[in-house]
Structure 1
Amino acid sequence: MITYREASKNDYKEIARIHASSWKKHYKGIVPDYLLTEKLDIDRLAIWKERLKKSNANQRIILALDQNKIIGFSCIYLHHSSGYGALLDNLHVLSSHQGKGIGLILMQKSFDWVFEMTPEDQLYLTVLSKNEPAKSFYYKIGGSFQEEYMEEFPKGNSILVQRISWNKRPTL
């Protein structure tokens, strides 16, 4: 049975592992290979340790667990960009658990939190334009295309992304 809870500061290692694993699988062939090496693991570990170290009322990290093992997460920031609403900064589910509705539930829980905290805001994310499986999922659950543009990516790279948003709860 899949359960969901808010992340605690001690969850950073598993979150970082899932984040790096997801990038290595889904970004291969889209971003330069040197960005997907073991340094990615170290980088994600440092980022998630810092993000979870201190409390941030505008941030929420929701975990999906299978038998108390973290198998996915979402990370949302309220008031991220003026005019765009709340940013879904990360949504990752282990490959072994994809296709079971976990990503949709994480999206719904993220949307519900945003709506509860700032009902006037919409939820949005950016996705790599060449990440067809992710884009397909986002559009399938009601995402609306907003724009396509170049965004700065780690290590000084720029990459083409799409901004996708939801002004109503994601659903199939």
Structure 2
Amino acid sequence: MTNFQPTSSCDGAPQVSLREATTADTALIAAMHARSWASAYRGILPDDYLDHGLEAERAAHWDTHMKAIAACAGRVLVAEHGGEAVGFVCLLAPDATGSVLVDNLHALPGHKGLGTGTAMLAEAIRWARSRGARQLHLSVLEQNTAAIGFYESRGWLREAREADHMAGIDLFSLRYVYALD
């Protein structure tokens, strides 16, 4: 299935729709990723990193990543509000332990709080279950309190604190899990 029913507000107006990303969406996804990081990681990662070269780095990353996804390693969905791309989620096929990695989940600045992330997580859970997964997992930077609050408010549990390295600095990521029992 390539398109998903949009969620609706109380008045029935569509809020969020999800569509399957294709390799033609690579540049769009890279740009959304860079824009999301530049906002969410301000004050966490160096400004120079966020302001210079991030788009090119994310473009190179997604060029490779989308090819792997296309080879059945998972799926990427683009979230839209009124036909405008406002976020994306990347899911990797269940690993040997039966866990699906939510590799990325981003709603663009200015589009948070509209149900975008919730809709993407709901589809991630549905997809993971359809693949026989036992759980989902993800990592979030320890200083990203907004993301932590989002996941915890939706039942995700912190499992571990892990050393990480991004943009030339050492920091910590938190591993969160969501059981599919």
TM-score exceeds 0.5:
yes
Q: CA deviation at 1:50?
A: 2.2
- Is the aligned partner of 1:161 residue 2:147? no
Corresponding residue SS for 1:91 = strand
Distance in 1 separating the partners of 2:167 and 2:93: 22
Aligned sequence identity (%):
29
Structure 1: runs of 5+ lacking an equivalent: none
Q: Are 2:144 and 1:125 equivalent residues in the alignment?
A: no
Instruction: List runs of 5+ in structure 2 lacking aligned partners.
Output: 1-13
Cα separation, 1, equivalents of 2:118 and 2:151:
9
CA RMSD of aligned residues (A): 1.8
Name the SS of the counterpart of 2:53 in structure 1.
helix
| Aligned residue identity for 1:124 | H
TM-score where L is the length of structure 1? 0.88
Which residue number corresponds to residue 56 of structure 1?
Answer: 71
Counterpart of 1:104, as a letter, is T
Q: How many aligned residue pairs are there?
A: 166
Matched with 1:17 is 31
* Equivalent residue runs for 1:1-172 within 5 Å: 1=14, 2-53=16-67, 55-80=70-95, 82-83=96-97, 85-119=99-133, 121-155=134-168, 157-168=169-180
Shift of 1:159: 1.8
Distance in 2, Cα, partners of 1:109 & 1:142: 15
Normalised by the size of structure 2, how large is the TM-score? Answer: 0.84
Preserved contact between residue 84 and residue 124 of structure 1 (Cα < 8 Å): no
Partner of 1:29, secondary structure, is coil
- Deviation readout 1:91-144 (Å, 9 max, x if unpaired): 00112211011101101101111111123x310100000110110000001101
Instruction: Answer with 42-51 or 140-149: which moved more.
Output: 42-51
Q: Distance in 1 between matches of 2:97 and 2:170?
A: 23
